[in-house]
Chain A
Amino acid sequence: MGKTLVEKILSVKSETEAKAGNIIIANVDLVFAHETTGPLAIRQFQAAGFKDVASSLKAVLFIDHGVPSPAWQLSNDHMLLRRFAQETGCLLSDIGDGICHQIVAESLAKPGDLVVGADSHTVTAGGIGAFACGMGSSDIAIVFGVGKTWLRVPESIRIMVSGKFAHGVYAKDLILHLIGQIGADGATYKALEFSGDALNNISIPERLTIANMAVEAGAKVGLFTSDNVTKAYLTALGRSDQYQQIIPDHDAVYEKTININLDDLEPVVAKPHSVDNIAPARELKNIKIQQVLIGTCTNGRLDDLAIAAKILKGKKHHPQTRLLVGPASRGVLLAAIEAGYIQTLIDAGAVILPPGCGPCLGLHQGALGTGEACLSTANRNFKARMGNPEGFIYLSSPATAAATAITGEITDPREVI
């Protein structure tokens, strides 16, 4: 019987014939935490009696969630991470470098890796063919110490993608559509594996957006094949030596297959307060938006800023709508400056935030006022997420967000492009 992508990767990592349903102990390639989950992980690591980080690992600490620090308590947590990195020799990614998931995809993870991070959106690296999943601080602490973790090999749900994105429709619309279809717990404990001819036209940045939100359907991992698109991406970054092709066997067994024809999709929005509460953008015309956020680990990449800049070029944001833009990493910011996108966005009235999570988790920057609505390109719209339990969060693609920034109410981007 053939293997799914999941079974292929986890067989190598566990040195067993990993089959869906098995419990395995697997060797981890890359482990990370950040300043909101790392301090507890470090304390657990020390309490368990570990001194050194397992030598087989690439281990990284990120300071990206509250940067620059908004509060002394968090500054102390930043200090703790810096000190631990210095003492153990693990890598440190400090303020201004960018969001962990972006940096992991840009420069740290490679196809076939087992990546675990103390953050639920660790799944993002599934876009480049790594088995990547989020865990809590204690699990991560033990990985830092022993270089291994236990996993239940998940059953895979195959998402067969055909067709081509229509004008104004993007990867974000695909994943929002899918979550709307299967629900916020539609893939709990399962893997989502993306397949089909259409993948040839879905770039790595787009795959990262899709994989990033696999967890919003409860999935353990959102996994893409490692193919020519992956190879081209790694080559452009000077990392061609890290490429290996990983495709599922033709007779692999899936729990089920869901077909998505890209031609049938249209711009959609997730309405408050759950990610599976999906509606077409065109049906939400009269909903006024006080804040637009373009950024986060879901849609803060160069392509996203390019789409936003194209729509906002020569225009101004609506006077009642604030526009915040957060590049996902320093690399993205520099490239966006060079391409002129940042100039265009500032001319349109955008506030440029430092690379990092920004307002996404409500820790600092851009907290919503009571009763205010935000259209965000992030991945979560839970109540209280952006700092105020009385705020309303809508999620969309960067194109829908940019169009909305101009009109001040939720707008189907096809009306302005």
Chain B
Amino acid sequence: MLKGKAFKFGNGISTDDIIPGRFAHLRSNLPELAKHVMADAAPTFITNVKPGDFFVAGSNLGLGSSREHAPLVIKMAGASAILAKSVARIFFRNAINVGLPVLLCDTDGIKDGDELEINLIAGTILDLTTGNQLTFDKIPEIMHRILNEGGLLPYIQKHGDYKL
């Protein structure tokens, strides 16, 4: 069971919004890079987010660059899951690979600051602020297994290769 506060963003949040290209020289210094998550789009996110909180967006989250650093800095900032109506392909894969759950659901009713309680096994999201209950879509089995191991690296360390 995950519990935390929703940080709500709009549609079409790109990887350039999440971690702008001008910080590319910091990509080998992840703690430093993570200080700039959402630097232009929502500069207060990094100061207000607490471990366990949720990154909630509208449609087509994470479009753009393949930089895995985007979901990585969201995770490093403390987020325990990403909720969105839809997610761009590479960002989706990257988030799972860094061990950050992606919950595809109708986020329209979730407001910035709502307290959420998420049951990853039952597939339910309870908005404690509004009382609304949501369900989220299943992800492909192979992604599920990667996520269950904590990400792609631990998955490969355990299995040595991909298993269908």
Contact = CB atoms under 8 A, between A and B. Distances in A.
A136 B67 contact: yes
A301 interface: no
Given A25-B164, A40-B69, A47-B153, A362 B20 contact: yes
B28 A139 contact: no
Contact of B156 (A65, A145, A361, A384): A145
A184 B60 contact: yes
A136 B25 contact: no
Contact of A139 (B24, B25, B41, B93): B93
Given A65-B24, A136-B66, A384-B16, A188 B97 contact: no
Interface in B75-114: 86, 88-90, 93-94, 97-98
A363 B40 contact: no
B48 interface: no
A318 B50 CA distance: 51
Nearest to B23: A363
A380 B164 CA distance: 35
A220 interface: yes
B12 to A, nearest CB: 6
A387 B21 CA distance: 7
B138 interface: no
Given A185-B60, A185-B86, A37 B20 contact: no
B120 interface: no
B27 A77 contact: yes
A294 B152 CA distance: 39
Nearest to A49: B157
Interface residues of B, number: 44
Contacts of A244: none
Contact of A119 (B14, B66, B140): B66
B25 A138 contact: no
Interface string A116-160: 011110100000000000111111001001101110100000000
Nearest to B99: A138
Contact of A120 (B27, B40, B66, B151): B66
Interface in A31-59: 36-37, 39-40, 44, 47-49
B26 interface: yes
B17 interface: yes
B47 interface: no
Contacts of A44: 152-153
B60 A77 contact: no
B128 interface: no
Interface residues of A, number: 56
A77 B86 CA distance: 33
Contact of A138 (B29, B88, B142, B153): B153
B97 A139 contact: yes
Contacts of B66: 37, 117-120, 122, 134-136
A76 B29 CA distance: 11
Given A66-B24, A77-B28, A150-B142, A135 B93 contact: yes
Contacts of A149: 162
Contacts of A367: 22
Given A48-B156, A76-B28, A389-B40, A148 B162 contact: yes
Contacts of B63: 184-185, 218
A384 B157 contact: no
A218 B140 CA distance: 19
Contacts of B27: 36, 39-40, 77
Given A36-B67, A66-B25, A362-B21, A136 B16 contact: no
Interface string B46-72: 000000000000011001111111000
| Residue from B24, B64, B161 whose CB has the most chain A CB atoms within 10 Å | B24
Interface string B26-50: 1111000000000111000000000
Contact of A71 (B25, B67, B151, B152): B25
A137 B24 CA distance: 14
A203 interface: no
A80 interface: yes
A148 B162 CA distance: 8
| Residue from A48, A138, A361, A363 whose CB has the most chain B CB atoms within 10 Å | A138
B21 A146 contact: no
Given A362-B20, A380-B16, A385-B20, 5 more contacts: A23-B141, A40-B69, A49-B157, A136-B93, A380-B64
Interface of A: 23-25, 36-37, 39-40, 44, 47-49, 65-66, 70-71, 73-74, 76-77, 80, 117-120, 122, 134-139, 142, 145-146, 148-150, 152, 184-185, 188-189, 218, 220, 274, 361-363, 367, 380, 382-385, 387, 389
12 contacts: A23-B164, A25-B162, A25-B164, A71-B25, A118-B66, A136-B94, A139-B152, A142-B152, A274-B12, A361-B24, A382-B64, A383-B14
